[in-house]
Each structure stands twice: as C-alpha cells, then as structure tokens.
Amino acid sequence: MVSGDDLSLKKPDPAPLEFAAEQLGVPLTACVLVGDSTNDIRAAGAAGIPVLWATYGYAGRDDIEQDATHGAIDTIFQLCECLQVAG
C-alpha cells in the first residue's frame, strides 16, 4: 500500500503509481488503477496504465473525465469480472 504521505509527489503525478509497482516488483504494464477521483484518472493516464472508475467512490459522474477511463464499475464484484475478462 502507498499512502499520500509516502512520497513528496502526489497524484495526479504518476510517481505514487510507479512507486507502488516498484514495491510490488511488477511493471506498470501489468497494472490497472481502480480510482474514484479525477486525480486518480489523471495519474493513471500519466503513467500509461488502464484505469477503471469506481462509481461508488469519492467523485460523482459530473466530476469524472469519463472519456479518459477504460470503463466504470459500480461494485467490487464488477472489478473481479473485468479482471477475469482481461485475463
């Protein structure tokens, strides 16, 4: 887990995502960000990784740049379905 206090750079900078991938020992290309804020979506875009918008989270539909996402999930169960489809 990476918290907002772990790095001096914060989202939408991609540094927290890059740090998390490094800590896990996986390339960014193996990652998907599930986010609930505009900064989450912008950070994923800057890092070049897919992003799924969690509609049940912080931001409302009017706040999210939906064209910048790869999809939306309304429940955690939909996340499982998306990951199974992606293989």
Contact 39, 11 (CB under 8 A): yes
Beta strands in the chain (DSSP E): 33-35, 51-54, 72-73
Tens of pLDDT along 34-76?
A: 988 889 989 999 999 998 888 887 766 666 666 667 888 889 8
Tens of pLDDT along 8-40?
A: 999 999 999 999 999 999 999 999 999 888 899
Q: Does the residue 52 lie in any domain?
A: yes
pLDDT of residue 53: 87
What's the CA gap between 35 and 49, in Å, rounded? 12
Q: Does the residue 8 lie in any domain?
A: no
Q: How many domains are contained in the chain?
A: 1
Q: Does the residue 66 lie in any domain?
A: yes
Domain coverage including residue 63: 15-86
What's the CA gap between 29 and 73, in Å, rounded? 21
pLDDT of residue 20: 96
pLDDT of residue 58: 73
Tell me the CATH number at 19.
Answer: 3.40.50.1000
pTM of the complete model: 0.83
